[in-house]
Amino acid sequence: MSTVHDLAARSRAGTGRWWRGRRRGAVVVLVVVAAAGLVTGVVLPRGPVTTAQSVTVLVVCAALGLLVGLRTASRWWVLLAPAVFAAAFELVRVPASGPTVDGIHLGSAYGVIALLAGRGFDAEVMYVPLAVGVVWGRIVARRTVRDGPGHRLSAGGWLRFAGAVVAAALVLVLAAGLLRPATTAPIAGPDGEPLPGSVAELTTVEVGGHEQALMLRGADADNPVLLYLEGGPGGTGIGRMRVAGEALEEDFTVAVWDQRGTGRSISALEPTDTLTVEQMVADTLAVTDHLRERFGQERIYLMGSSWGSTLGVLAVQRAPEKYHAYVGAGQMVDQQETDRRMYAESLAWAERSGTENLAARLRANGPPPYEDVLAYPDALSANPEYREFPHGEDYDPASEYPASLFVPEYTLTEQVRGMGGILDTFAVLYPQLQATDFRRDVPALEVPVFVVEGAHESPGRADLAREWFDQLEAPVKEWVAFDRSGHTPHFDEPGRFHEFLVGTVLPRTGGSG
Residue 248 sits in the same domain as residue 107:
no
- The pLDDT score that the predictor gives to residue 21 is 52
- The pLDDT score that the predictor gives to residue 145 is 58
Is 496 in contact with 505 (CB distance < 8 Å)?
no
pTM of the complete model? 0.92
Helix (H, G, I), strand (E, B) or coil at 218: strand
252 within domain boundaries: yes
Listing DSSP states for 111-149 in one string gives HHHHHIIIIIHHIIIIIHHHHHHHHHHHHHHIIIIIS-T
DSSP bridge partners of 124: none
CB atoms within 10 A of CB 293: 9
What distance in Å separates the CA atoms of residue 97 and residue 65, rounded to the nearest whole number?
A: 29
| Residue-number span of the structural domain to which 12 is assigned | 3-144+156-179
What's the per-residue H, E or C state across 262-303? CHHHHHHCCCHHHCCHHHHHHHHHHHHHHHHHHHCCCCEEEE
283 within domain boundaries: yes
330 within domain boundaries: yes
Residue 29 sits in the same domain as residue 64:
yes
CB atoms within 10 A of CB 38: 17
34 within domain boundaries: yes
Residue 227 sits in the same domain as residue 330:
yes
- The pLDDT score that the predictor gives to residue 104 is 87
DSSP bridge partners of 346: none
Helix (H, G, I), strand (E, B) or coil at 105: coil
Residue 111 sits in the same domain as residue 239:
no
What distance in Å separates the CA atoms of residue 177 and residue 419, rounded to the nearest whole number?
A: 18
What distance in Å separates the CA atoms of residue 346 and residue 58, rounded to the nearest whole number?
A: 44
Residue 206 sits in the same domain as residue 115:
no
Is 488 in contact with 332 (CB distance < 8 Å)?
no
- Tally the residues of the chain: 513
Count: domains in the chain: 2
186 within domain boundaries: no
What distance in Å separates the CA atoms of residue 348 and residue 362, rounded to the nearest whole number?
A: 10
Residue 443 sits in the same domain as residue 498:
yes
Listing DSSP states for 412-430 in one string gives HHHHHHHHHHHHHHHHHHG
In this structure, what is the dihedral angle of CA atoms 295, 298, 304, 308, given to the nearest 10 degrees? Answer: 90
DSSP bridge partners of 207: 210
150 within domain boundaries: no
pLDDT in tens, the chain (513 residues): 455 455 344 434 444 443 455 567 788 899 999 999 999 999 999 999 999 999 999 999 999 999 999 988 888 999 999 999 999 999 999 888 999 999 888 878 889 999 999 999 999 999 999 999 999 999 888 877 555 555 666 666 678 888 899 999 999 999 999 999 999 999 998 888 999 999 999 999 999 999 999 999 999 999 999 999 999 999 999 999 999 999 999 999 999 999 999 999 999 999 999 999 999 999 999 999 999 999 999 999 999 999 999 999 999 999 999 999 999 999 999 999 999 999 999 999 999 999 999 999 999 999 999 999 999 999 999 999 999 999 999 999 999 999 999 999 999 999 999 999 999 999 999 999 999 999 999 999 999 999 999 999 999 999 999 999 999 999 999 999 999 999 999 999 999 999 999 999 999 998 654
Among candidates 305, 311, 251, which has minimal Cα distance to 287? 311
Residue 25 sits in the same domain as residue 109:
yes
Among candidates 480, 450, 449, 456, which has minimal Cα distance to 395? 456
Q: Who's near 265: CB < 8 A, 6+ residues apart?
A: 210, 211, 212, 213, 258, 259
Residue 170 sits in the same domain as residue 248:
no
- The pLDDT score that the predictor gives to residue 149 is 58
Is 305 in contact with 488 (CB distance < 8 Å)?
yes
Q: Who's near 63: CB < 8 A, 6+ residues apart?
A: 133
151 within domain boundaries: no
What is the torsional sign of CA 271, 274, 276, 280?
A: negative
Is 98 in contact with 422 (CB distance < 8 Å)?
no
Residue 138 sits in the same domain as residue 210:
no
What distance in Å separates the CA atoms of residue 348 and residue 513, rounded to the nearest whole number?
A: 48
CATH of the domain at 314: 3.40.50.1820
Q: How far is CA 7 from CA 1, 20, 21, in A?
A: 10, 20, 21
Listing DSSP states for 50-69 in one string gives SHHHHHHHHHHHHHHHHHHH
Q: How far is CA 440 from CA 204, 314, 467, in A?
A: 36, 13, 11
Residue 57 sits in the same domain as residue 166:
yes
What is the torsional sign of CA 342, 346, 347, 349?
A: positive
232: phi > 0 → left, psi -120 to 50 → alpha, else beta; which? left
Q: How far is CA 405 from CA 262, 399, 414, in A?
A: 12, 9, 8
Residue 35 sits in the same domain as residue 138:
yes
- The pLDDT score that the predictor gives to residue 303 is 98
The values of phi and psi at residue 199, to 5°, are -135, 135
Residue 123 sits in the same domain as residue 205:
no
192 within domain boundaries: no
